[in-house]
Structure 1
Amino acid sequence: MAKGKTIDMSDVWADPIVILIWGVLPISVPIYLWNEPFLRAFYGNFFRYVMSLHQAWLVNSAAHLFGNRPYDSQIQPCENILVQYLSIGEGYHNYHHTYPWDYSASEYGWKDNFNIATAFIDLFAQLGLAYDRKTVAKHIIKKRMAKTG
């Protein structure tokens, strides 16, 4: 967190597109499309933002404390099924820290498992907007599990 405070973000906040997407659209859409009052649109957007922060913090806390460590028992991150469902696919934290280059952050993908983040990346790959997706071969996973799991 301390390093984050040293990053100069003035160019980002000076960009009118960022301000439009970050601040104006999320409040304007409910007002103009659903005739919501300003405060209801503001509080709804604020609640959405707070929930997304809590979702991220859940991954960075519960997925480091509770669960099993099948890929590397020597590191703190865990596999946590509750976090998996509450964070739309980020509960496989032990796998993610063992294989950080795997785009799916999970051994299982999305078709056999609840991993909406991977489904979105795969959708964007089909549309040509994501490419060079890296995964880990099954034999490497099994070898690592036998060694450090």
Structure 2
Amino acid sequence: MKMMPLLCFVLPTVVPVYFWGETWTNAFFIPTILRYTCGINVVWSVNSFAHTFGYRPYDKSLNPRENIGVWMICVEGFHNYHHTFPWDYRATELPLYNMLTPTIVFIELMAKIGQAYDLKFVSPEIIKQRAHRTGDGTHHLWGWDDPEFTEKLKEKYGAVSHSEDRKQA
């Protein structure tokens, strides 16, 4: 916490003055205050969208939601998962998204060099049980069971639903 004022306010003000000949006023208000204000507003906006729009596949009683749009912009859009399983160091159960999330990549890199250890994650069985018990029914919605992927579209693209095969078995 002691480094925050140095990294957030002092360095962004001093560097433009000494290296680029900027005035103290411009150096303080543009790269420091404007950057800080824009940064916290982006974070707050992401939190607002992640708590307002989207699905709640893991726990419908929690306000945070899964929002693919937030993920596409900030690479952190799986808020319902994060609040349902707070001890899981990953942002989601989906491996592809885990590989693309900088926070997870950084944590795993730190684990490989010994700076992070005892990383905890939730087993797939527990995730499925919890989603079935408390979710809103949208767990793994994007795919065959997506209501927007109609039978007509499946026929048009020659798609075969594997979930229908499982239901018949």
How far has the Cα of 1:98 moved from its partner? 0.5
1:66–1:78: 8 Å Cα contact kept in structure 2? yes
Query: Unaligned stretches of 5+ in structure 1?
Result: 1-11
1:1-149 to structure 2, matched below 5 A, reads 19-42=5-28, 43-89=30-76, 91-108=77-94, 114-149=100-135
Which residue of structure 2 lines up, in the alignment, with residue 6 of structure 1? Answer: none
Q: TM-score, normalised by structure 1?
A: 0.73
Q: Aligned partners of 2:27, 2:109: CA distance in 1, in Å?
A: 30
Q: Aligned partners of 2:111, 2:15: CA distance in 1, in Å?
A: 28
The Cα RMSD (Å) is 2.5
Q: Aligned partners of 1:58, 1:83: CA distance in 2, in Å?
A: 10
Which of structure 1's runs of 4+ aligned residues deviate more than 3 A? 30-41, 109-114
Q: Aligned partners of 2:44, 2:4: CA distance in 1, in Å?
A: 24
Which residue of structure 2 lines up, in the alignment, with residue 5 of structure 1? Answer: none
Larger of the two Rg values belongs to structure: 2
How far has the Cα of 1:34 moved from its partner? 4.7
Q: Aligned partners of 1:38, 1:53: CA distance in 2, in Å?
A: 23
Give the aligned residue type for 1:24: V
Task: Say if 1:103 and 1:138 are closer, same or farther in 2 by CA, change over 3 A.
Answer: same
Post-superposition CA distance 1:72-119 (Å, at most 9, x none):
122211101122233332x11110110011112322356655422212
Any idea what SS the aligned residue of 1:125 has?
helix
Equivalent pairs counted in the alignment come to 134
